[in-house]
Chain A
Amino acid sequence: MSNQTGPLLSVRDLKTHFVMDEGIVKAVDGVSFDVYRGQVFGIVGESGCGKTVTMKSILRIVEHPGKIVHGQMLLSREGRDGSGGEDSVNLARLDPKGKEMRSIRGAEIALIPQEPMASFSPVHTIGDQIIETIRLHQAIDKKGARKSALRLLMDVGIPMPERRLEAYSWQLSGGLRQRAIIAMALSCSPRLLIADEPTTAVDVTTQAQVLRLLRQLQKDRNAAIIFITHDLGVIAQIAEYVMVMYLGLVMERGPVDDIFHEPKHPYTQALLRSIPSVNSAPRVDLPTISGSIPHPFNKPPGCPFHPRCGRRIPGTCDVRTPALQAVGERQWVSCFLYHDGEVAVP
Chain B
Amino acid sequence: MNNDKTPLLEVKNLCKYFPIQKGSFKKIVGNVRAVDDISFFVNEGETLGLVGESGCGKTTTSRCILRAMAPTSGEMLFRTKEGRVVDLAKLDRSEIRPLRQQMQMIFQDPYGSLNPRMTLFEIVGEPLLVNGMRSRKERTDRVAELLHLVGLRPEYMPRFPHAFSGGQRQRIGIARALSVNPRLVVADEPISALDVSVQAQILNLLLDLQTRLSLTYLFVAHNLGVVKHICDRVAVMYVGKLVEMAKTDALYHSPRHPYTAALMAAVPVADPRVQTGNVELKGEVPSPANPPSGCYFHPRCAHASDVCRTRMPVFREIDPGHFVACHRAEEIELAGIA
Q: Do chains A and B touch in the complex (CB under 8 A)?
A: yes
Work out how many contacts link A and B, with CB atoms closer than 8 A.
143
Q: Does B68 contact A (CB under 8 A)?
A: no
Residues B229 and A205 in contact, CB atoms below 8 Å apart: no
Q: Residues of B contacting A203 with CB < 8 Å?
A: 53-54, 222, 285
- Chain B, range 112-159, C-beta contacts under 8 Å to A: none
Bound CA span A266–B275, Å: 26
* 0 or 1 for each of A137-180: is its CB under 8 Å from B? (1 = yes): 00000000000000000000000000000000000011110000
Q: Residues of A contacting B276 with CB < 8 Å?
A: 208, 233, 237
**Interface residues contributed by chain B, number (CB under 8 Å):** 47
Q: A46-B197, A287-B200 are in contact. Are A277 and B269 (CB under 8 A)?
A: yes
Bound CA span A272–B270, Å: 8
Q: Does B224 contact A (CB under 8 A)?
A: yes
Bound CA span A205–B262, Å: 8
Q: Does A271 contact B (CB under 8 A)?
A: yes
Q: A260-B271, A276-B228 are in contact. Are A205 and B266 (CB under 8 A)?
A: yes
- Chain B, range 152-180, C-beta contacts under 8 Å to A: 165, 167-168
Q: Does B248 contact A (CB under 8 A)?
A: yes
Residues A212 and B280 in contact, CB atoms below 8 Å apart: yes
B274 to A, closest residue via Cβ: A236
Residues A205 and B281 in contact, CB atoms below 8 Å apart: yes
Q: Does B207 contact A (CB under 8 A)?
A: yes
Q: Residues of B contacting A234 with CB < 8 Å?
A: 268
Q: Does B332 contact A (CB under 8 A)?
A: no
Bound CA span A231–B224, Å: 13
Q: Does B196 contact A (CB under 8 A)?
A: yes
* 0 or 1 for each of A313-333: is its CB under 8 Å from B? (1 = yes): 000000000000000000000
Chain A nearest CB from B173 CB (Å) reads 16
Chain B nearest CB from A52 CB (Å) reads 14
Q: Does B230 contact A (CB under 8 A)?
A: yes
Q: Residues of A contacting B168 with CB < 8 Å?
A: 292
Stretch at the interface among A66-74, A87-95, A109-117, A278-286: A278-286
Select A286's contact among B167, B200, B275, B338, beta carbons within 8 Å: B200
Residues B225 and A208 in contact, CB atoms below 8 Å apart: no
* 0 or 1 for each of A259-273: is its CB under 8 Å from B? (1 = yes): 011000000001110
Chain A nearest CB from B271 CB (Å) reads 6
Bound CA span A52–B178, Å: 37
B165 to A, closest residue via Cβ: A292
Select A275's contact among B53, B230, B270, B285, beta carbons within 8 Å: B270
Q: Does A76 contact B (CB under 8 A)?
A: no
Bound CA span A203–B51, Å: 12
Chain B nearest CB from A66 CB (Å) reads 22
Bound CA span A211–B248, Å: 27
Residues A176 and B284 in contact, CB atoms below 8 Å apart: yes
Q: Does A344 contact B (CB under 8 A)?
A: no
A230 to B, closest residue via Cβ: B196
Select B277's contact among A231, A237, A279, beta carbons within 8 Å: A237
In the complex, besides A206-B284, A232-B196, A293-B195, 16 extra interface pairs with C-beta distance below 8 angstroms are: A203-B285, A204-B267, A207-B266, A209-B281, A233-B225, A237-B275, A257-B272, A276-B203, A277-B228, A282-B229, A283-B230, A288-B200, A288-B201, A292-B168, A293-B165, A293-B197
**Measuring CB to CB, which residues of chain B are less than 8 angstroms from any residue of chain A?**
53-54, 165, 167-168, 195-201, 203-204, 207-208, 222, 224-226, 228-230, 248, 252, 262-277, 280-281, 284-285, 337-338
Q: Name 10 A/B residue pairs within 8 A (Cβ), A-sorted.
A: A176-B284, A236-B269, A275-B200, A276-B228, A276-B229, A278-B338, A286-B200, A288-B200, A289-B197, A289-B201
| Top 8 A-B pairs, shortest CB-CB distance | A233-B268, A276-B229, A208-B266, A274-B200, A203-B53, A286-B200, A208-B277, A46-B195
